């Protein structure tokens, strides 16, 4: 695996690879790698000739400074994992490398409703920061394929819009959410859960599954289902749901007809850790 810290040297290397006809796959991450990330690397390796993984904890997408400070960093374990799955290239830039003109970089796109609702409403500035860094990374790596997880449902929709708006010649591949054996969606933040919180966290996916089953009955209105989910989560001491919402799976607008493709999305606080998850309903 070749490790690059500077965009220019990575660019020079990738130009050579592309000139040889190699197709490039890209997996952007914030490190603290787990099997969910690895599934994206494996998908990239199956689809492309050369996989670039980036590790960069992007300061501009953290609306909560404590979350940024507490974000786990496990660099040497990450390197071992990437070597084991035979990832060809790791890009590990510094903040200065990605934001040479400082963090108040004006490069921002207006995505409208899709970035203002749900996570956008509860984490102001998060998607602007995320889109900003993904755009910078795409301009450096210029991948043929970009691999992202369904786990961050709203994020992958916005990145799809970014690719369209900026006319990037990159195909977005969305990979399924990897879960622990009890159903908890894998996340770098899970390591911050203490024993008790980790046990409680299973309730998130359990509630999503319950609502999916219940949504098959047309007599249950979506409003009732959302309320039922909130009630179930709130009833458990130690769990504080921030939102539970059923939306159109493409636009994230409220569902008008049950024949639309629907997704249930939720954000929940457990033991001081904010976790998100989602499930397609039909
Ligand atoms: P992160 O390091 O959390 O920014 O995530 C990097 C990429 O990994 C994003 O595209 C995430 O959606 C994806 N990802 C995170 N958790 C999972 C998971 N449990 N299953 C599949 N992909 C995931």
pLDDT tens digit sequence for 138-192:
999 999 999 999 999 999 999 999 999 999 999 999 999 999 999 999 999 999 9
Query: For residues 137 and 28, is the Cβ–Cβ distance under 8 A?
Result: yes
CB of 53 sitting under 6 A from ligand 1:
no
Instruction: Give the Å distance between the CA of 161 and the centre of ligand 1.
Output: 18
The two tokens of residue 17 are: 């690879």
- Ligand 1 atom closest to residue 185's alpha carbon, by position in its atom list: 19
- Ligand 1 atom closest to residue 188's alpha carbon, by position in its atom list: 3
Task: Outline where DSSP puts E strands in 30-118.
Answer: 50-55, 89-91
* SS3 of residue 61 by DSSP: helix
Position 107 scores a pLDDT of: 63
The two tokens of residue 88 are: 């060809």
Q: Where are the alpha helices (DSSP H) in 148-251?
A: 153-165, 195-200, 202-215, 222-234
The two tokens of residue 69 are: 């400070």
Instruction: Give the Å distance between the CA of 27 and the centre of ligand 1.
Output: 9
Q: Which residue's CA is the closest to the ligand 1 atom numbered 18?
A: 36
Instruction: Give the Å distance between the CA of 149 and the centre of ligand 1.
Output: 5
CB of 205 sitting under 6 A from ligand 1:
no
List the catalytic residue out of 6, 34, 37, 122. Answer: 37
Class of domain 188-280: alpha beta
Position 106 scores a pLDDT of: 60
Parse the chain into domains and list their residue ranges: 2-175, 188-280
Q: What is the chain's Cα-based Rg?
A: 19
Whole-number Å distance between alpha carbons of 115 and 125: 9
To which H or E segment does residue 243 belong? strand 239-248
Query: For residues 134 and 162, is the Cβ–Cβ distance under 8 A?
Result: yes
Instruction: Give the Å distance between the CA of 189 and the centre of ligand 1.
Output: 11
Residues of the chain with pLDDT under 50: none
Is 122 labeled as catalytic in the residue annotation? Answer: no
Whole-number Å distance between alpha carbons of 22 and 16: 9
CB of 42 sitting under 6 A from ligand 1:
no
Position 63 scores a pLDDT of: 87
Q: Is 125 left (phi over 0), alpha (psi -120 to 50) or beta?
A: left
> Scanning the structure block, which residue is given the tokens 């889109």?
131
- Strand partners of residue 28: 54
Among the four given CATH numbers 3.40.50.720, 3.40.50.620, 3.30.465.10, 3.40.190.10, the one describing domain 2-175: 3.40.50.620
Please report, for residues 6, 168, 207, 218, 264, the alpha-carbon distance to residue 212 in angstroms, rounded to integers and kept in the order given: 45, 35, 9, 12, 8
């Amino acid at each position: 695996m070749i490790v690059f810290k500077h965009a220019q040297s990575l660019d020079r290397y990738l130009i050579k690879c592309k000139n040889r006809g190699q197709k490039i796959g890209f997996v952007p991450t914030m490190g603290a790698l787990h099997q969910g990330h690895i599934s994206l690397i494996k998908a990239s390796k199956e689809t492309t000739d050369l996989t670039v993984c980036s590790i960069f904890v992007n300061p501009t997408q953290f609306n909560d400074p404590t979350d940024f400070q507490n974000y786990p960093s496990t660099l040497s374990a990450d390197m071992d994992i990437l070597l084991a799955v035979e990832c060809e290239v790791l890009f590990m830039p510094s903040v200065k490398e990605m934001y040479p003109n400082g963090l108040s970089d004006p490069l921002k796109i207006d995505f409208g409703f899709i970035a203002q609702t749900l996570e956008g409403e509860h984490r102001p500035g998060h998607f602007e920061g995320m889109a900003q860094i993904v755009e910078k990374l795409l301009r450096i790596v210029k991948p043929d394929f970009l691999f992202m997880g369904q786990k961050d449902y709203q994020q992958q929709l916005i990145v799809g819009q970014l690719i369209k708006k900026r006319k990037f010649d990159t195909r977005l591949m969305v990979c399924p959410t990897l879960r622990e054996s009890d159903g908890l969606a894998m996340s770098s933040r899970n390591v911050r859960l203490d024993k008790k919180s980790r046990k409680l966290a299973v309730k998130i996916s359990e509630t999503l599954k319950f609502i999916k089953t219940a949504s098959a009955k047309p007599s249950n209105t979506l409003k009732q289902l959302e309320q039922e989910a909130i009630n179930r989560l709130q009833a458990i001491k130690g769990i504080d749901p921030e939102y539970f919402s059923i939306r159109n799976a493409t636009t994230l607008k409220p569902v008008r007809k049950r024949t639309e493709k629907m997704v249930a999305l939720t954000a929940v606080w457990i033991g001081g850790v904010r976790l998100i998850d989602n499930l397609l309903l039909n």
